Amino acid sequence: MKKILSFLMMALFANFVMADSYVKVTATPTDWEGDYLFVYEAENVAFDGGLATLDAAKNTIAVEIADGVIAANETTNAAKFTFAAVEGGYSVKSASGKYIGVSSYGNGLKQADAVGSYVHNSMSIDADGNAIIAIYNETWNTTGGSMILNFNANSSDKRFRYYKGGSQKKIQLYKFTASSTPTHTYTVAGSSDVAFGTKWDPANTANDMVKQDNGTYKWEKTDLTLPAGAIEFKVCEDHDWTVAYPAQNYSLNIAEAGIYTITITFDPAAESDKVAAQASKTGSAEVDPTAAIKGGWDSWANELALVLAGDKLTATGVLNIAAAGDYEFKVILNGSDWRSNGYTYHREFTGAEGITGNGDNMKLQADVAGEYTFTWTFATNALAITFPAAEEQKVEPKEVSGAIAWDFTKLVANTESALYNTDGIKLTAETTPSKTDEIVYSEYAGTLWTVGEGFDAASLAFTGEYPLRKNKMCQNGTLRFKTTVAGSIVVKFSDTGTSASATAVKRYLVVNGEKTEYWTSRENNGTENPYAAQLDVTTGAIPVAAGEVTIAGSSAIVVYSVEFAPASAPEPVLANGYYLIGQKGWDVAALSADLLFTANPENEGEYQLAVTLVKDQSIKVVKVESDVITAWYPEGMGNDYKVDEAHAGVKTVYFRPDKQGGEGWHEGCFYIAPNEATGIANTAVDAKAVKVIMDGQLFILRDGKTYNVQGQVVR
């Protein structure tokens, strides 16, 4: 009765343990299966089941025992032993995966990888609460009986091992007991709505795992008709993604279509491999394959289901992409098998095979909006994408803002090009590009010519017959570039020399539609060497405005080089600073040096201006930088200050750009002291009156009063 009561008290105590623990076993149970610690209480040590070699001196860990309880933690869990029922008793397996026992009647301990290597153990608890872990063999019985697991307390050989007849210190047994209330809820969330009811939903309580007696958790579902492929999932803590296991999705492979039972287990106390899963086929079923696409074009909101072909070999779907851009995406097979391998699809790469894993997201470089067709081939795990027709996009030359020169001797024609002839690169109405197409020189770098250092091919365009002739010029066409600033160009050009017999030659150049003629005189060269006496002209600086600049000429001229220099910026008329505005107008033309505020030496961050204010005029303060108004005080409309009679006259206006002025300041920006004196216009002043001139005005102090003299002051 005492033993039964003790065991019931142990079980009752375990129900109220607030955390997972190892609780002392004080009575013999009917079933010994479970996880245990072998403990020698007198020295607060336990047998270390995590050792690779178990029969070793000091094969122990230190433990803390309080009221028959040892805390379950990483250290104690790593030292546990697992009892499992087998024929003839129980096997004892260490945390390191070894089965323990003995092979003869002699002190020692053997270990093996196989469960049936040794005679199995019998377990019992004696009247004093000690554990009797014994191995009995009929052969040994004639010479002494059982081998019993004890603790050798000898200082030179402290260890747990089997001893003949239990000749060493008796040990105690502590069993793992899970807390009565789980500290966390664990839920399975994954890729298959067939298996989980929803996809990747940690809040689905239908997928909550059930806590087991040994502290692990289990989820199981039967009669699932599944296609071949992978099911991915995680175990989420407390219905949230913040803590989820494993770090990378667990992938459970379904080798062939059929009916399955899926079992998922989770051990929160395990240091690694916390999650395990198994799919057991219980029946056959035919399941059509499916394929879908999901990606960033709609922020991963929806799947595009591909339509299965009649032969079930491929599936195809059309996706309408609203805007050009780069989008990441994945393929989803059979509802849960995510496929991606980091490929980037573009117009020159539209298909790939062997997409078998769930790697980095694939990318689609959608260069135009429109309909993109996705086709998946099941046998080869191949994805092909058909792009919509590309839009014709004119390449514009890059804008320039600084000095630049285009010297055509920096270009070398590609003699392998179909457009090459002995004169250079020649365009006609039938070539691609044709002589009516505008081309930017960088478009054909490497194909029609090689661009040398110093020639900015991206900023110059040409339309005409010879974009490059004899590797030193262009001819019979129009050059175009863009500039963000005004400036001037200098053009070096010549004629072809075919009119070498003429003693005077006239050629013209057209810049931005304005034609200029150039004449020269030369010797009659006859016909022997017509290029020996060409007309060579280097123009003066030709002004051009910001924007497009075009250069053309008569068909006989060739252009060797073009140089552009930006115009020098004019010196600002106004000094940078804060100005009073309004009385003379509301633009920068109304400003002058006498309206510029200066720093107030008495108040940091404050400015002042002595000025005559006119009644009924409106004023504000502006900030001027490089002759441009860049800020208004106060900003906005309808809040300017209208000068009244009390503030008219010669005044000092105080201004704070931080708008932190106090009471009486207009919108916190500026302050004008009111006229507080009484005017005594046309009043004679006797000699006893004190006369004071402030801010250009005359004040008279007489009879204890201050008078502001208005109008003409007569001495």
Regarding whether 228 and 247 lie in a shared domain, the answer is yes
From CA 453, how far away is CA 586, in angstroms rounded?
Answer: 51
For residue 13 the two structure tokens come to 């105590």
- What's the half-sphere exposure (Cβ side, CA atoms, 13 Å) at 641? 25
Is residue 417 included in any domain, yes or no?
A: yes
- Return the DSSP state at 681: T
DSSP 8-state class, residue 590: G
> Within a domain: residue 396?
no
Do both 436 and 512 map to the same domain?
yes
**Of the candidates 502, 536, 566, which is a domain's last residue?**
566
pLDDT of residue 445: 93
Q: For the residues 447-472, what does the mean pLDDT come to?
A: 94
Place of tokens 């175990």: 235
State how far the Cα of 473 lies from the Cα of 704, in Å rounded to an integer. 93
551 Cβ neighbours under 8 A, 6+ residues apart: 478, 479, 480, 489, 491, 509, 510, 511, 559, 562
**Identity of the residue numbered 572:** P
Beta strand 362-366 with 370-377 is unpaired
| 8 Å CB contact between 484 and 496 | no
CA distance 492 to 483: 19
Domain assignment of residue 562, given as a range: 404-566
How high is the mean pLDDT of the chain? 85
pLDDT value for 524: 45
pLDDT at 436 over 70: yes
Confidence at residue 154, expressed as pLDDT on a 0 to 100 scale = 86
Domain of 274: which CATH number?
2.60.40.10
**Residue 145: what pLDDT?**
73
User: Distance of CA 640 to CAs 372, 578, 619, Å?
Assistant: 58, 16, 6
Q: What is the mean pLDDT of residues 267-291?
A: 91
Q: Based on the fold, state whether residues 54 and 160 are members of the same structural domain.
A: yes
659-667 contacts, C-beta under 8 A, 24 or more apart: 659/633, 659/634, 660/605, 666/634, 666/641, 667/633, 667/634, 667/639
pLDDT value at 35 more than 70: yes
> Taking Cα atoms as reference points, which of 223, 289, 222, 305 lies closest to residue 256?
289
Is residue 423 within 8 Å of 466, Cβ to Cβ? yes
Q: Do 337 and 439 lie in a common domain?
A: no
Same domain, 302 and 278: no
**What would the mean pLDDT of 608-634 be, rounded to a whole number?**
93
Torsion of the alpha carbons at 604, 610, 615 and 619, rounded to the nearest 10: -50
Rounded to whole angstroms, the Cα distance separating 539 from 673 reads: 64
Q: What is the pLDDT of residues 222-231, one digit of tens each?
A: 999 998 888 9
Q: What is the mean pLDDT of residues 263-282?
A: 93
SS3 442: helix
pLDDT at residue 539, rounded to an integer:
87
For residue 391, being part of any structural domain is answered with: no
Same domain, 54 and 134: yes
Instruction: Give the model's pLDDT for residue 532.
Output: 44
CATH code of 560's domain? 2.60.120
With respect to residue 506, please indicate whether it lies within any of the assigned structural domains.
Answer: yes
Within-domain flag for 394:
no
pLDDT digits (tens, 9 = 90+) for 233-258: 999 999 999 999 999 999 999 988 89
Are residue 195 and residue 263 in the same domain, yes or no?
A: yes
What DSSP string describes 487-541? EEEEEEEEE-STTTT-SEEEEEEEETTEEEEEEEE----TTT-TTTT--EEE---
CATH number assigned to the domain comprising residue 610: 2.60.40.3620
Q: Looking at residue 715, what is its pLDDT?
A: 36
With contact defined as beta carbons under 8 Å apart, do 542 and 490 qualify? yes
Q: Are 239 and 214 in contact (CB under 8 A)?
A: no
pLDDT at 144: 60
Percent residues over pLDDT 90 in the chain: 62
Express each pLDDT in 559-615 by its tens digit: 999 999 999 867 778 999 999 999 899 998 899 999 999 999 999 999 999 999 999
Distance CA 346, CA 385 (A): 9
Banded pLDDT at 392 (limits 50, 70, 90): low
Nearest one of 181, 191, 194 to 285, comparing CA atoms: 194
Residues 270, 278: contact at Cβ < 8 Å? no
Q: What is the pLDDT of residues 160-180, one digit of tens each?
A: 999 987 779 999 999 998 876
Residue 516: band (very low, low, confident or very high) from pLDDT cuts 50, 70, 90: confident
Q: How far is residue 269's CA from residue 29's CA, in Å, rounded to a whole number? A: 25
**Which pair of structure tokens corresponds to residue 402?**
């600084």
- Give ∠ CA 512-518-522 in degrees, rounded to 5: 155
Does any domain span residue 342?
A: yes
Is residue 500 pLDDT above 80, yes or no?
Answer: no
**Scanning the structure block, which residue is given the tokens 């005559």?**
612
Residue 22 phi/psi, 5° resolution?
-110, 120
Q: Which of 226, 261, 283 is the last residue of a domain?
A: 283
Question: Given 283, 315, 337, which residue is the final one in a domain?
Answer: 283
692 pLDDT band, cuts 50/70/90, is: low
What are the two backbone dihedrals, phi and then psi, of residue 347, each rounded to the nearest 5 degrees?
-65, -25
**What pLDDT shows up at residue 166?**
74
Tokens of 644: 């009244």
Give the Cα separation of 686 and 401 in Å (integer): 72
Residues 6+ apart with CB under 8 A from 235: 186, 187, 188, 209, 217, 244, 245, 250, 264, 266, 274, 275
Number of domains in the chain: 6
CA distances from 521 to 452, 502, 526 (A): 35, 9, 15
- Regarding whether 546 and 424 lie in a shared domain, the answer is yes
Tokens of 395: 């390449």
Interacting residues of 211 by C-beta distance below 8 A, sequence separation 6+: 178, 182, 217
**Amino acid in the structure at residue 108:** G
Q: What is the CATH number of the domain that holds 15?
A: 2.80.10.50
Residue 710: is its pLDDT beyond 50? no
Residues of the chain with pLDDT > 70, as a percent, come to 86
DSSP-assigned beta bridge partners for residue 446: none
Do 261 and 409 fall within a single domain? no
Q: What is the pLDDT of residues 286-304, one digit of tens each?
A: 888 899 999 999 999 999 9
- Confidence tier at 16 by pLDDT (50, 70, 90): very low
* Spatial separation of the C-alpha atoms in residues 200 and 135, rounded to whole Å: 51
Q: Is 715 a domain residue?
A: no
Same domain, 202 and 248: yes
> Is residue 484 in some structural domain?
yes
Q: Are residues 431 and 554 in the same domain?
A: yes
Model pLDDT, residue 527: 44
Q: What is the 3-state secondary structure (H, E, C) of 217-229?
A: EEEEEEEEEECCE
**Confidence bin at 459 (pLDDT 50/70/90):** very high
381 shares its domain with 246? no
